[in-house]
Amino acid sequence: MKAVFVNTPGGVDQLQYADLPKPTPAKGQALVKIAVSGVNFIDVYFRTGLYKADAPIGLGMEAAGVVEAVGEGVTEVKPGDRVAYAMARGSYAEYAVVPSWQLVPIPEGLDFESAAATMLQGMTAHYLTHSTWPLKAAETCLVHAAAGGVGLLLVQIAKMLGAKVIATVGSDEKAELAKAHGADLTVVYTREDFQQAAREFTGGKGVDVVYDSVGASTFMKSLDSLRPRGLMVTFGNASGPVPEIAPLVLNQKGSLFLTRPTLAHYAATRDELLWRSGDLFRWLGEGKLKLRIEHKYPLASAAKAHTDLESRKTTGKLLLLVD
């Protein structure tokens, strides 16, 4: 089968599009014939070596497709089922074996592209707003990279919960997009001071929570945008990993809380997975949540997708069309 992987972590030139043996499902696994694979920033981290894995490092953590075979003891799915999943690596391929408990059924009427586009970034936006900091109406959150894949979903879900959203973005076009998805205030943080904007917006108080996926370049100012006892959620490294800080800094800046979550720990059981994906699929069906699939590439062009994502050219979701 064709697959995209790296043997030596590095730049996009390290990405290989080549044949690998078609995998066989072991006990508790299903073999999925992949139709569409989602592209996520985490794929960049595995490609560059920021996140470690043994070579050959299969890329891709999200897909939609059809179950072709199941291993021993699998009860959740059967051959022929249309399924989607996230957080199992190796989806940039024609086939992948996935722990069967991680596969969710795709509702009738939802196509593979929409299902693949929903899982990883959607469940991330869901856990951040429902579990890491359950957002309440009238609270204010600061969302960085708000026109990105996670960002546009996070803005919409925060608005559904009644919160006010300050959205930072890298360009005027992205600001328009974030506004169109519900942001109350947009800040082009490449030229405007988001900390000052957040203070002004909240009458000097500071925001209740910051959802910061940008990392190194925004971290300290994000802390400075919070109200006393607010929560700093650092959940990504798009500009590089956040350097170490002393706990005393959290005291000095207002008895702040700090967390560094990952979806893997917030979609840790089948119940949790079905809850989050079920909410997302329902909101899509009801028209409450809109997906923005702007960029589609053939599997063989995964390198182009990575280049575009890393150069901040993209908005919304990027997909690799496999089938």
Rank residues 7 and 259 by Cβ distance to ligand NDP and give the closer one: 259
CA angle 311, 304, 262 (to 5 degrees): 65
Under 8 Å between Cβ of 193 and 170: no
Q: Which of 82, 159, 174, 306 binds ligand NDP (CB under 6 A)?
A: 174
Please state the closest distance from residue 182 (CB atom) to ligand NDP, in A.
16
61 touches ligand NDP (CB under 6 A): no
Binding to ligand NDP by CB under 6 A, coded x per residue (else -) over 104-123, reads ----------------xx--
Q: How far apart are CA 118 and CA 156, in angstroms?
A: 13
Strand order in the sheet with 257-259: 185-188, 164-169, 140-143, 207-212, 226-234, 257-259
Residue 255 main-chain phi, psi, to 5 deg: 50, 50
Rank residues 81 and 225 by Cβ distance to ligand NDP and give the closer one: 225
Q: How far apart are CA 61 and CA 43, in angstroms?
A: 7
Please name every residue paired with 232 in a beta bridge, in sequence order, or none if there are none: 210, 258
Rank residues 74 and 280 by Cβ distance to ligand NDP and give the closer one: 280
Please name every residue paired with 140 in a beta bridge, in sequence order, or none if there are none: 164
Binding to ligand NDP by CB under 6 A, coded x per residue (else -) over 181-220, reads --------------------------------xx--x---
156 touches ligand NDP (CB under 6 A): no
Residue 243 backbone zone (phi > 0: left; psi -120 to 50: alpha; other: beta): beta
170 touches ligand NDP (CB under 6 A): yes
Contact residues toward ligand NDP (CB under 6 A) are 40-42, 120-121, 124, 145, 147-151, 169-170, 174, 213-214, 217, 235-239, 261-263, 309-310, 312, 314
